[in-house]
Chains A and B, each alone.
Chain A
Amino acid sequence: MTIKTYVSCWLLLAAFLVPCAFGADFKVALVLDKGGRDDKSFNSAAVRGATKAKDELKGLSLKIVEATDDNAFESLLRSFAQRDFDLIISVGVSQADAVKKVSARFSNKHFVIVDAVVEAPNVQSLIFQEHEGSFLVGAIAGTMTKTGKIGFIGGMDIPLIRRFELGYGAGAKHVNPKAKLISNFVGVTSDAWNNPAKAKELAVSQYGQGADIVFAAAGASNSGLFDAAEEQKKFAIGVDSNQNWIKPGYILTSMLKRIDKAVFDACSDDLKGGFNGGVKRFGLADQGVDFSVDEHNETILPREVRARAEKLKAEIVSGKIKVPDYYQKKK
């Protein structure tokens, strides 16, 4: 071995080791719920945001895990907190109890929870105004329906998803007072987020009852709706991520919930030392929720329908329209 190869070997090794040793000193953990990282919807959005943070922010490393069962959340969070992770992001309402317990035990660590409120100084709760976004896609469905019947499929039957349903129905009724809403839920446990077969069954049944546009807020179960829409040549509306690409021509639009943006911001804020506990809300005004237009749906979503939805959006932001909120209704 010549001196030259010897030296270059060491340099090569150093090139690999240096980033590990000095580069990544801010460690982020992302804990997904049962939908899993490839649900193309809710969890995928969080993964996208966190991955973007890893790629674009210097000195940030990322570990993504999926829970095997509802008992595993607490163990996973605890394992991360015990190690040298700085920021632990929990995705989904079913992790609320675990975050509450573990954040109290590890008060020097930072936690973020998506979709639920945990009141603790070291927990940031990311809440989205789902009813506002649902109102817009409801208005789009109400304008576009030919049968006067529209459908809604919720994942797990919890207040969060009822909030989608209420906003969606209100949006449809706002533009089309005679519109009729058919509504079903996939299930009552967290398995409902990952049961496309049941979602498809419900979608086929709703199309059979005369609905021609169905909106599903059901995580990984959404793919069942899209299959049904393609088979029946009807329209579907996606949720959370932009799902238009999954079945182009059958997905009218997607109600965006910019979890990716919120997760990215949480990472970048904390990296810069700007972590704040408490509730952060994302609505139409800051594009935290929205509806999607891209090359996959611009031909099926007429320009005037889009313009009308944009006008409604402005009216909601200015406070002219008040969208009913299931959370307020309950109290």
Chain B
Amino acid sequence: MTFLRSRIFRSLQPLLAVLIGLVIGLLITRLAGENPWHVLKILINSAFGSRYDIGMTLFYATPLILTGLAVAIPFQAGLFNIGAEGQLTLGALAAAAVGCVFPDIPWPLAPVLAVLAAFFVGGFWGFIPGWLHAKRGSHEVINTIMLNFIAAGIASWVTLYVLKNPESQNPETKAVGAGYLIHHFQSFGDAPLSSAFVLAVVAAILVSVFLWRTVLGFQLRAVGQGESAARTAGIDSGKMKIIAMFLAGGLAGLVGVGEVLGNAGRFRLGFSPEYGFIGIAVALLGKNRPAGVVAAALLFGALHKGTSDLDLETENVTRDLSLILQALIILSVSAVGLWDWFNKGRPMVNGGRT
């Protein structure tokens, strides 16, 4: 048992879990009549095989880093943010709206403006349930779910009736002005990987500094660890919760930067394959710590890209089976918490460090 508690084993746990999930998943593809070794090769090759593939993996990881943070920060303050999907929808819509309404703003200023719009509109959408929770005591889970629906409705309405692209059959807005577009990195082929990825990583570093190196961050975590104790110590718990939800919404809103400015050049309805909800799994997997979130997002990105070619390269692995494969790996990694349960009699919320 001492080995199981050792630091080395702890840090290897997630890796081990990925391997276990992978083995189980590959055995299932064996049942479907595929050679598991072959499937594994396709998976790795599709995620990291070429510069383009690596670029796509990082591209998929970008929004997941942000939504992972958007779930992790409220977790640290004792809140559960299920609203990242709505926050990112409105953030992206805001970035596109600024770009459509003021198309002539020149380059360095335009993206900055769009980034601010995405951050503050997304942040506002997080602020609402935060404020309602702090001041009126209504439950943030219900409120964030409901706000997801409202955000989807607003996005549909704006896209179809206000900013509709008249040249396309697809539900999307007009293109943003040329000055808004962020260029793709040249070294990843045609992958739409842009500085939005750098932005996401920088955001993760800033969140880490904020939570563990500032007084405000300490107070925020204190509220999450024990609200009444924090209040006794003179911390304004309501304020901390509002800050946590505002930051979360803002970070989710930044997903729009990579999508609108870095990829499509416009807002497309339904562009997110539920990044906001996958963000919950990313945050849990990353143990609600920014570095963990980045690592988990990279894993999810690689899985998403890796499984995308399975349908194409094999005879029997359909899109459903590749989803099962993804889910199994996620499940086994999430089950890492079980180790802690056995060792300490309770799951570790905070990665063992307080």
A-side residues, CB < 8 A to B, are 29, 63, 65-72, 75-76, 78-80, 93-94, 96-97, 105, 116, 156-160, 188-191
Contact = CB atoms under 8 A, between A and B. Distances in A.
A79 B270 contact: no
B270 A191 contact: yes
A69 B60 CA distance: 12
Contact of B171 (A71, A105, A116, A189): A189
A8 to B, nearest CB: 26
Interface in B10-58: 52, 56
A76 B269 contact: no
Interface string B295-325: 0000000000100110110000011001100
A72 to B, nearest CB: 6
B323 A68 contact: yes
B311 to A, nearest CB: 5
A68 B309 CA distance: 11
A158 B273 contact: no
Nearest to A64: B311
Nearest to A66: B319
Interface string B266-307: 001111010000000000000000000000000000000100
Interface in B150-183: 156, 159-160, 168-171
Contact of B273 (A69, A75, A96): A69
Given A63-B312, A65-B311, A94-B170, A71 B160 contact: no
Nearest to A115: B169
Contact of A96 (B52, B156, B159, B168): B168
B129 to A, nearest CB: 25
A80 B271 CA distance: 23
B170 A97 contact: yes
A71 B273 contact: yes
Contact of B169 (A78, A80, A105, A160): A160
B156 A116 contact: no
Q: Which 6 residue pairs across A and B have the least CB separation, nearest first?
A: A69-B273, A189-B270, A158-B169, A93-B169, A65-B311, A66-B319
A63 B305 CA distance: 19
B187 to A, nearest CB: 17
B190 interface: yes
A66 B171 contact: no
A44 to B, nearest CB: 15
For chain B, give the interface size range. 20 to 34
B322 to A, nearest CB: 8
Contacts of B190: 78, 105
A105 B308 CA distance: 20
Nearest to A162: B169
A68 B170 contact: no
Contacts of A63: 312
B270 A66 contact: no
A158 B170 CA distance: 7
A76 B156 contact: no
Given A68-B322, A70-B271, A76-B308, 12 more contacts: A70-B270, A72-B308, A75-B56, A79-B309, A94-B170, A96-B168, A97-B170, A157-B160, A188-B159, A189-B269, A189-B270, A191-B270
A188 B171 contact: yes
A93 B323 CA distance: 25
6 contacts: A68-B319, A75-B308, A78-B190, A96-B168, A159-B169, A189-B269
Contacts of A71: 271, 273
Contacts of B171: 156, 158, 188-189
Given A68-B319, A76-B308, A96 B170 contact: yes
A188 B160 contact: yes
A158 B156 CA distance: 13
Contact of A66 (B56, B159, B168, B318): B318
Nearest to A158: B169
Contacts of B309: 79
A79 B273 contact: no
A160 B168 CA distance: 11
B149 to A, nearest CB: 14
A278 to B, nearest CB: 19
B318 A76 contact: no
Nearest to B166: A330
